[in-house]
Structure 1
Amino acid sequence: MARTLRWTGGVLLAIAAVVALAVGALQILGWNVLRGPIATVVTARTGRPFAIHGDLDVDLGLTLRVTARDLELGNPPWVDPKRPMLRMRELDLSLRLPQLLRGRVVLPRLMLDQPQVALLRRADGKTSWQLGSEEGGDGNNPPRIRELVIRDGQVELEDAIRGLNLQAAVSSSNRLDAPLGQQLRVTAEGRYNGQPFRLTARGGSLFALAERGTRYPVALDVRAGDTRITLKGSVGTDAAQTLDARLTVSGPDTAELYGLLGVVLPNSPPYSVSGQLRHAGNAVRFDDLSGKIGDSDLAGSMRFDTGGPRVRMTADLRSQRLDFDDLGSLLGAPPATGNGETASLEQKVQATQLAQEGRLLPDAPLHADRLRAMDADVRYLAASVDARTVPLKDVRVEVQLKDGVLRLSPASFSFPQGNLELWLTLDGTQDPAATDLDVRLSKVLMDQLTPQIDGVPALAGTLDGRASMAGRGNSVRDFAAHANGRMGLAMNGGRMSHLAVELVGLDVAEALGVLIGKDKPVDIRCAAGALALQDGQLRVKSMLIDTEDSLVIAGGGVDLATERLDLKLQTHSKDASLLSGQTPVTLSGPLRRPAVGIESKGLAARGAAALALGAVLTPVAAMLAFIDPGLAQDSDCAARLREAGAAAADAPPVR
């Protein structure tokens, strides 16, 4: 044993002698001889060229103090070699040797003097700040810094994905009694998507980050164009709760937040919302959310899970009062822009342009690539709806976004009686995006949808309808211009106010075979239509309005690409003595402002109704089954069709 101890002591003495000789040599030769070996190690660990161009100095002890001047760390090969990732006038750090021998890097103090940092991200997602090489470590054991001082730091960032280009100034102080903005301050200016960008961040002394179980104060103010994000709260120094802060976000359009926050949101009118933001681990919560979007209030909560291959958002949102005009923004259409309405300058310009061009369908682009950036499960409820002339009671929407495919299943709009439901599947994995749409209108009273004249509804009856279409396009207008599908409408019974008939004009009323009485409404036995949509061309297969004294049959269609209407209504009297010479009525021109006219040539031939019924009854009957199988058998309209069909079979041939 004694011999072993003597041998061990001899070895330690020899090691100590070697270390002493090495230290002595370094004291004589100077520490600069280590600049080359240090550069080799750092280059191997980071995969980037590294150099110390100035002096290197070391003060020995259990806590080493290292000072290095004029340092430079290069960028990856795809960046201009004349543009390093980091330049620094001086680095001054303290390093605890006992912790280093245990495999931990503890820096009691780190001072950076005039660091200049250049960060770049390409459009393909490759970043210049991703360090490491095959020989380097994995970065799972980062150094622990107890005190950090930054003097006159400069950061330049170019991000092609977010359209961000900025220059930032960074400085910090360790005065614990200094005001919040004087301990850590970051200011940045530049451009975001071509618009002015400004960021101001403030924090407490970075020395406080070394104290476990404390809260580190932070404040952030970001302005990108007309979008503003403010945050004020604290960051925890342990893993239990990283961030707890009040967040306020406002701007002209929620879709613009994608570049800033990476969150996929639909287009919207101007908005302002706030809530409590909490971040711990892979979970981000936005609770007590409240504010306004357009002229609608909004409340609820949102959750974000960042632990998977994509961010997953779940949201439960609600409005006490929804302004129906605001929903148009979801499709890229501008909201209402009249007095008292909330719309951004860009949306007002868009509304003016649509009006000048006589168009209804918006051509705002759909960014299908964003649908592949995250998953979502969102529920929304509006308890009451301000739709002006449309008496909606409530709106319910359920949205699922997964693997780039968005589904509405469904969006439901409730009336005092009846409802409208919309199913939508939008496949963002294709380019252009592929869309399937199914809209169903069930048992809605027309007197709820039409204005009253002298206290009498202009039109009454029960309306059912359905539209099913599919197509591809990266805007609503592009989709409509190439869509295929079919549509159908049916109104069981009903009546039109005699005053409403007078308002359309005596000549038009006579052309339609409508007898005008001073106080007698016009009874409508059945109104139905079947339309086919092919490559944006919506054509009438059959459409009829059956009154007590006439049968009105329509033909023509709508070009959705040009948004122009071309319809003709031909009337056939049931009694030869009543208005037997009606001329066709035309509806033509842009969908936004169609014109009603009377065709100057041609009269309806006596007996043509029998011939026409044979062509229109079959597709209309099939359309009733498409809307609702029960309509084809049980509705009054179906009975009227069977009755008209029997009469057509007994009618004499046309001569």
Structure 2
Amino acid sequence: MADASAVEPGFIAPPRPEPSPLPRRHDPARHALAIFISILATVVGLIFLAWLVLFVTKGRFLKHTFERYASSYSGRTVKVAGDFNLYFDPFATKFLAEGLTVSNPAWASKPNMFQSKLIDTRIATMSLIFGDKKRVNWINLIDGDVDLEWDARHRNNTWTFGPGAPLTMPLIERAAIDGTTLRYRDPQMQVKADIAFQQVKAVGNRIDTAIRFSGDGSMRGIPFTLSGSQTSPNDLIAGGRNQFALHVDGARSHIDVSGTLPGATVIEGADLTVGVRGQNLRNLFDLAGIAVPDTRAYRLRAHMTKLGYDYRFTRIVGNYGNSDLSGALTVTIPPAREGDDGRMKVVADLKSRLVDMVDIGPFIGFEPNALATKGATAAVKQDAGYPRILPDAPLRVDALKAFDAKVTYRVADVRQKFVPVSNILLGLDLDHALLKLSPLNFDMAGGHVESDIAINARTPAVVTDYDIRMSPTPMGKLLARFGVAELGTTGTIKARIKMHGTGNTLRDSLATSNGRIAIVLPKGTFWTKYVQLSEFDVGVFVQKLFENKLKKPVEVNCGLIGFTVRDGIAAADPILIDTDKNVMTAKGGFSFKDELMSLAFRADAKKISLFSGQSPIGIRGHFAQPAIQIVTPQLLTRVGAAVALGVVATPFASLLAFVDPGDAKAAACGPILAGANAAAQRTVKGDPRKDIGRGKSADVKEQKSKPFIRF
């Protein structure tokens, strides 16, 4: 074995080889991060470079690019006549334009929707990029003119751009406005308004000087003026709300609006108080094209807010004339769409605790102030020398065609001296010029009246259908003012009026009407306080005239006062009342055309009666001035016979001329209580009656031609 010492001297051993290094592992995450950082640094650098370029150049070179993209997006021509700035920073975007104009659609009456001498703004960058509502930190507007218009069909407006995107006003934090005007036109609503804003300067988050504005205009041809202010617009970012005040004078009315707005340019969700006062509530609603009856002086107050297309008036309180009013009302003004004319609609739920009868007069066409000062005589008008009481105020057909409505009105009590009326319930439904008053119900003198009235104004000739029903009502309460004693009167009255007429006034409608009127008297007693006219027996009348009272009430078995109406002429069909002593009948009738009455009542005794003239008792004259005739030619003939007998015989013999033989045929009550016409009426033996009117217009004319002597 060789030894190391045996190696030759001078020999150097080669070095031992180094071990091979292990291969390096690849890290994808680090590689991706490095790439991302590189890209981010590049983007940031580019952004910074772009910002630096924009900051240095103020973005002036983007002027034509802005015009091109803004015009393309809005579908309008957008131009900047002077200097232009547009650049960003992390917190606010700077925008400045001198001579900025935004054109109107071709149909508009003005060339530009917006134009200004200068607009200088700072817009919150994050809200500009991500927010639905843009926030303007600062705006300086000089000599701005805004034109807001609707087209004639109310389907397009000047502030909706591109594919139906409406202009949404931004939230404005600070502002300085000088020489700015706003013009508004709505042909469908017939609204014109021109408003000028006074100079406004603002510092910090609170405007120290109120935004004040004033202007004038017209609505449906009625001029108005307005003025107002936004007294303390707060920093909206902190959730502040803007105090708002507005005063409008027009249509002989005064409107005051005050409260808060969510923002200086935001009405949606506003919390406002509205006060209105004037001489006639109709004048106020005329501004909106809503037809309401005339009223006396009024004063109302309500809470108002706007939600979508709805203008809601809640907590209404106030009065018209001597009547109180409360409730809620909503006016909806939707935009017109295909197949829909965008009709305005009024929905209301109103109440009154006490209504003065004078204030109800205008609802059927009477002038309220005249009624208040002159009483019922104010309802009477002279026409060709004759008194007329049926109202001739025309139905406002054009106004009824402009809107729809659904109204409920409740009245607890009515102040008047004729017949006690309470608990009125009125349901009003207006649908494309078809007006329905259903229900129209109320309590009257212990009874109840239900009504359904339809007025169709869709055709040139306005058509009205009346259906009025009265449940059994105590005569003692109903006729108390006319001398009927409530104590001792057990009789009741029930009635129905069903007619159909044409005409745009109540007078014309009734003058052309056809239908039936039936008043039924079931079995009961009837007692007067003063003179006895209930049985139309002249002898008893004279007797009671001196006694001034009845010893016992009249027993009514059944009765029917019926009229058939043809072309405005109501003829008795029949008038037949059966009492314990007499059978009363009447012929003739009345006319809605000239308001003349011509009725002849007579009573035939069932048993022999002295002091019974048995001549017709006439009711003549006009609705406004009726006259009762007691002395008739027939009675004078009998008086003449009495005088003759007294001369040739003895004074006692003259009484024979006034003796009634008592041959009246009692009436069958079945047809009477059913309200049947004359052809169905029978005696108690079943024989057809021949002593009653047959519902013919000729009967009325015949009675008119007979001479009556006024008593």
TM-score bucket of the superposed structures, by smaller chain: 0.7 to 0.9
Q: Tell me the SS of whatever aligns to 1:233.
A: strand
**Is it true that 1:443 corresponds to 2:469 in the alignment?**
no
Distance 1:111 1:610, change over 3 A: farther
Compute the displacement of 1:601 (Å): 7.2
**Is it true that 1:423 corresponds to 2:472 in the alignment?**
no
Compute the displacement of 1:400 (Å): 5.4
Q: Deviations over 1:423-472 (max 9, x none)?
A: 33455666666544322222323333446589968996422211123445
Identical pairs, percent = 20
Q: For the residues of structure 2 that align with 1:514 and 1:342, how far apart are their CA atoms? A: 32
Q: For the residues of structure 2 that align with 1:378 and 1:599, how far apart are their CA atoms? A: 51
Q: For the residues of structure 1 that align with 2:629 and 2:469, how far apart are their CA atoms? A: 31
Distance 1:10 1:323, change over 3 A: closer
**Is it true that 1:168 corresponds to 2:195 in the alignment?**
yes
Q: Please, which of 306, 313, 316 is the counterpart of residue 347 of structure 2?
A: 313
Q: Tell me the SS of whatever aligns to 1:479.
A: helix
Q: Deviations over 1:594-620 (max 9, x none)?
A: 4555898789999xx999989xx79x9
Q: Deviations over 1:545-568 (max 9, x none)?
A: 4566655433344443x3422423
The answer on whether the counterparts of 2:513 and 2:565 sit within 8 Å (CA) in structure 1 is yes
Q: Deviations over 1:276-301 (max 9, x none)?
A: 44556677664543221221123345
Q: Deviations over 1:298-340 (max 9, x none)?
A: 3345567889987573525231x22123223233433363556
Distance 1:450 1:478, change over 3 A: same
Compute the displacement of 1:569 (Å): 0.9
**Counterpart AA for 2:107:** W
2:573 matched residue in structure 1? 541
The answer on whether the counterparts of 2:582 and 2:664 sit within 8 Å (CA) in structure 1 is no
2:18 matched residue in structure 1? none
What CA RMSD, in Å, does the superposition of the two structures yield over aligned residues? 5.1
Q: For the residues of structure 1 that align with 2:596 and 2:204, how far apart are their CA atoms? A: 73
**Counterpart AA for 2:674:** A
Q: For the residues of structure 2 that align with 1:84 and 1:357, how far apart are their CA atoms? A: 61
Q: Please, which of 471, 477, 484 is the counterpart of residue 514 of structure 2?
A: 484
Compute the displacement of 1:395 (Å): 1.9
Q: For the residues of structure 2 that align with 1:295 and 1:103, how far apart are their CA atoms? A: 54
Q: For the residues of structure 2 that align with 1:272 and 1:599, how far apart are their CA atoms? A: 54
1:624 matched residue in structure 2? 673
Q: For the residues of structure 2 that align with 1:201 and 1:38, how far apart are their CA atoms? A: 36
**Is it true that 1:210 corresponds to 2:210 in the alignment?**
no
1:114 matched residue in structure 2? 143
Q: For the residues of structure 1 that align with 2:98 and 2:243, how far apart are their CA atoms? A: 32
Q: Deviations over 1:493-541 (max 9, x none)?
A: 5547485568x9xxx9788995543225494735422222344443332
Compute the displacement of 1:403 (Å): 4.8
2:274 matched residue in structure 1? 247
Distance 1:249 1:20, change over 3 A: closer
Q: Provide TM-score, normalisation by structure 1.
A: 0.75
**Is it true that 1:225 corresponds to 2:254 in the alignment?**
no
**Counterpart AA for 1:485:** G
Distance 1:148 1:621, change over 3 A: farther
**Is it true that 1:296 corresponds to 2:323 in the alignment?**
yes
2:703 matched residue in structure 1? none
Q: Please, which of 605, 615, 619 is the counterpart of residue 582 of structure 1?
A: 615
Compute the displacement of 1:169 (Å): 1.6
Q: Tell me the SS of whatever aligns to 1:108.
A: strand
2:366 matched residue in structure 1? 333
The answer on whether the counterparts of 1:439 and 1:467 sit within 8 Å (CA) in structure 2 is yes
Q: Tell me the SS of whatever aligns to 2:184.
A: strand
Q: For the residues of structure 2 that align with 1:213 and 1:567, how far apart are their CA atoms? A: 77
Q: Tell me the SS of whatever aligns to 1:564.
A: coil
Compute the displacement of 1:544 (Å): 3.1
Q: Tell me the SS of whatever aligns to 1:125.
A: coil
Q: Which range is displaced more, 168-177 or 216-225?
A: 168-177
Number of residue pairs matched by the alignment? 613
1:323 matched residue in structure 2? 356
Distance 1:342 1:157, change over 3 A: farther
Q: Tell me the SS of whatever aligns to 1:173.
A: coil
**Counterpart AA for 1:391:** P
Q: For the residues of structure 1 that align with 2:685 and 2:296, how far apart are their CA atoms? A: 51
Distance 1:65 1:386, change over 3 A: same
**Counterpart AA for 1:327:** I
1:411 matched residue in structure 2? 440
Larger C-alpha radius of gyration, 1 or 2? 2
1:567 matched residue in structure 2? 598
**Is it true that 1:153 corresponds to 2:185 in the alignment?**
no
Q: Which range is displaced more, 356-365 or 428-437?
A: 428-437
**Residues 589-608 of structure 1 aligned to structure 2 (within 5 Å):** 589=622, 591-596=623-628
**Counterpart AA for 1:335:** P
**Counterpart AA for 2:560:** A
Q: Tell me the SS of whatever aligns to 1:197.
A: strand
Q: Point out where structure 2 has 5 or more consecutive residues left out of the alignment.
A: 1-30, 336-341, 639-656, 692-711
Q: Point out where structure 1 has 5 or more consecutive residues left out of the alignment.
A: 633-640
Q: For the residues of structure 2 that align with 1:488 and 1:327, how far apart are their CA atoms? A: 26
Compute the displacement of 1:489 (Å): 0.9
**Counterpart AA for 1:625:** A
**Residues 358-377 of structure 1 aligned to structure 2 (within 5 Å):** 358-367=388-397, 370=400, 373-376=403-406
The answer on whether the counterparts of 2:135 and 2:171 sit within 8 Å (CA) in structure 1 is yes
Q: Tell me the SS of whatever aligns to 1:422.
A: strand
Q: For the residues of structure 2 that align with 1:301 and 1:192, how far apart are their CA atoms? A: 24
Distance 1:462 1:52, change over 3 A: same
Compute the displacement of 1:210 (Å): 2.4
Q: For the residues of structure 1 that align with 2:484 and 2:630, how far apart are their CA atoms? A: 30
Q: Tell me the SS of whatever aligns to 2:370.
A: coil
Q: For the residues of structure 1 that align with 2:663 and 2:187, how far apart are their CA atoms? A: 66
Q: For the residues of structure 1 that align with 2:99 and 2:543, how far apart are their CA atoms? A: 96
**Is it true that 1:53 corresponds to 2:81 in the alignment?**
yes
Distance 1:109 1:25, change over 3 A: closer
Q: For the residues of structure 2 that align with 1:176 and 1:41, how far apart are their CA atoms? A: 33
Distance 1:163 1:10, change over 3 A: closer
